[in-house]
């Protein structure tokens, strides 16, 4: 008998869930959305299910049904906390799960991002990642007022942004810190390097102010709407409604990468999970119909979801990021119903994986490019 594929699982955390009416559910906690305890409870629940990582949604403007700025709706959740700061807050209270904030790179300097994500990697003990995203909103742009954005260039700009961040992480060699009290030398200055990046959008000298992160390079995640990200991502998130689409998605990522290490391809999926899932979703739809989702929307039991996921894994998908339709109900169902079902099918771990987030995903710790190349300090 062939052993089933061992899946990786992540969850996407955003407000009270994917459904816009989820905040009106009897199980929701909308009054606690802007408290640290709310987010810590969700992450601890995810960690109890042995999940690989959680992502925290973010934006540079209020949630809106309009593409270019705030709308006038008062019946949906508006406002959110900073994703990176949420991750940093819950990091010391968790022990195993990866923490991956979304970061809008369109109006954010790579130097700031590099030290923020490196700091998260330190305070989490090597469990950090980040999900770069772009903003085409004129409303977001008006918050900064520094330039006109060119939407067709934003993905290429984001790729350069990630490259600068990664070079800054490498600007300190792993053993640059000596901390020798006897000789009075804290660092080896020859092991700090200028990155001297000059491109169309960024001109960054370096080095970083933060030593190289524990993982060397924290996890970088790209979404399906960013094909440029296929070239640099450690994990690519793609909607995969059926096995054929899954196989095509995996082939598309591999064709962009060519040779060398291939990234994980995670299927992106919204889930309403449990015996009452259809009724719960129908009640929410009566309150407010959601917009069409880029990701497939699953409604059903854990057994039915496992039946859907495993054939996708056979086509090369190595994991899934699940968007709970309603929090915390569907997150609880993922950890208490789906995970045990996958374990019964020998398709998911039965204990916490060890090591850094990269190691748990089977990704090698990257070699420092400046130590290898002998870059100038």
pLDDT of residue 2: 43
Q: Which tokens belong to 29?
A: 């906690």
In angstroms, the CA 319 to CA 55 distance is: 14
In angstroms, the CA 198 to CA 200 distance is: 7
Cβ atoms of residues 142 and 70 within 8 Å:
no
In angstroms, the CA 190 to CA 374 distance is: 10
In angstroms, the CA 268 to CA 365 distance is: 26
Candidates 209, 42, 215; CA nearest to 123 is 215
pLDDT of residue 372: 66
Q: Is the dihedral of CA 1, 343, 237, 364 positive or negative?
A: negative
Cβ atoms of residues 21 and 32 within 8 Å:
no
CATH of 8-148+215-373 among 3.20.20.30, 3.90.1010.10, 3.30.565.10, 1.10.10.60 = 3.20.20.30
Candidates 84, 88, 113, 82; CA nearest to 209 is 113
Angle between the N-to-C axes of helices 83-90 and 110-124, in degrees from 0 to 180, rounded to the nearest 10: 20
pLDDT of residue 376: 46
Q: How many CB atoms within 10 Å of residue 32? A: 13
In angstroms, the CA 269 to CA 312 distance is: 12
Cβ atoms of residues 236 and 227 within 8 Å:
no
Which residue stretches of the chain are H helix? 36-48, 83-90, 110-124, 138-142, 154-169, 243-257, 277-287, 302-314, 329-333, 339-344, 357-360, 369-373
Q: Which helix (H) or strand (E) holds 319?
A: strand 319-324
What DSSP letter does each residue of 178-215 carry, written as one string? Answer: EEETTTTEEE-GGGB----EE-SS-EE----SSPPPTT
Q: Is the dihedral of CA 219, 223, 226, 231 positive or negative?
A: positive
Cβ atoms of residues 317 and 250 within 8 Å:
yes
Q: Which tokens belong to 331?
A: 């997150």
pLDDT of residue 300: 98
Candidates 83, 93, 7, 10; CA nearest to 53 is 10
Q: How confident is the prediction along the chain (377 residues), in pLDDT tens digits per residue?
A: 345 579 999 999 999 999 999 999 999 999 999 999 999 999 999 999 999 999 999 999 999 888 888 898 999 999 999 999 999 999 999 999 999 999 999 999 999 999 999 999 999 999 999 999 999 888 888 888 888 888 889 999 999 999 999 999 999 999 999 999 999 999 999 999 999 999 999 999 999 999 999 999 999 999 987 777 788 899 999 999 899 989 998 998 888 876 567 789 999 999 999 999 999 999 999 999 887 788 999 999 999 999 999 999 999 999 999 999 999 999 999 999 999 999 999 999 999 988 999 999 999 999 999 996 544 44
CA dihedral 344, 346, 350, 353 (to 10 degrees): -160
Q: Where are the domains of the chain?
A: 8-148+215-373
In angstroms, the CA 111 to CA 114 distance is: 5
Candidates 91, 83, 95, 77; CA nearest to 24 is 77
Residue 215, class by beta-carbon neighbours within 10 Å (0-12 exposed, 13-18 middle, 19+ buried)? buried
């Amino acid at each position: 008998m062939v052993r089933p594929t061992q899946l990786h699982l992540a969850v996407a955390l955003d407000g009270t869930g994917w459904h816009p009416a989820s905040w009106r559910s009897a199980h929701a906690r909308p009054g606690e959305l802007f408290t640290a305890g709310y987010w810590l409870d969700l992450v601890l629940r995810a960690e109890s299910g042995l999940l690989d990582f959680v992502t925290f949604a973010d934006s540079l403007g209020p949630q809106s049904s309009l593409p270019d700025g705030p709308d006038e709706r008062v019946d949906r959740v508006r406002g959110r906390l900073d994703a990176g700061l949420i991750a940093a807050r819950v990091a010391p209270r968790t022990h195993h799960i990866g923490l991956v904030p979304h970061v809008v790179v369109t109006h954010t300097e790579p130097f700031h991002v590099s030290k923020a994500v490196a700091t998260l990697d330190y305070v989490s003990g090597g469990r950090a990642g980040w999900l770069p995203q772009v903003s085409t909103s004129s409303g977001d742009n008006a918050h900064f007022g520094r330039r006109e954005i060119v939407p067709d260039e934003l993905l290429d700009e984001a790729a350069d942004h990630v490259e600068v961040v990664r070079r800054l992480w490498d600007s300190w060699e792993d053993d640059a810190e000596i901390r020798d009290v006897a000789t009075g030398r804290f660092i080896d200055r020859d092991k700090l390097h200028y990155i001297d990046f000059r491109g169309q959008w960024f001109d960054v000298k370096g080095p970083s102010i933060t030593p190289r992160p524990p993982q060397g390079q924290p996890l970088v995640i790209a979404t399906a709407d960013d094909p440029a990200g296929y070239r640099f991502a450690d994990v690519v998130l793609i909607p995969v409604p059926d096995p054929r689409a899954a196989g095509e998605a995996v082939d598309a990522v591999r064709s962009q990468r060519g040779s060398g290490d291939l990234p994980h391809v995670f299927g992106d999926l919204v889930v309403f999970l449990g015996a009452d899932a259809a009724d719960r979703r129908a009640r929410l739809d009566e309150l407010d119909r959601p917009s069409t989702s880029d990701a497939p929307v699953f409604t059903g039991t854990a057994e039915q979801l496992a039946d859907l996921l495993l054939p996708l894994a056979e086509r090369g998908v190595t994991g899934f990021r699940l968007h709970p339709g309603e929090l915390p109900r569907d997150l609880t169902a993922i950890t208490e119903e789906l995970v045990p079902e996958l374990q019964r099918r020998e398709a998911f771990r039965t204990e916490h994986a060890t090591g850094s987030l990269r190691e748990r995903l089977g990704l090698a710790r990257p070699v420092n490019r400046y130590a290898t190349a002998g870059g100038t300090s």
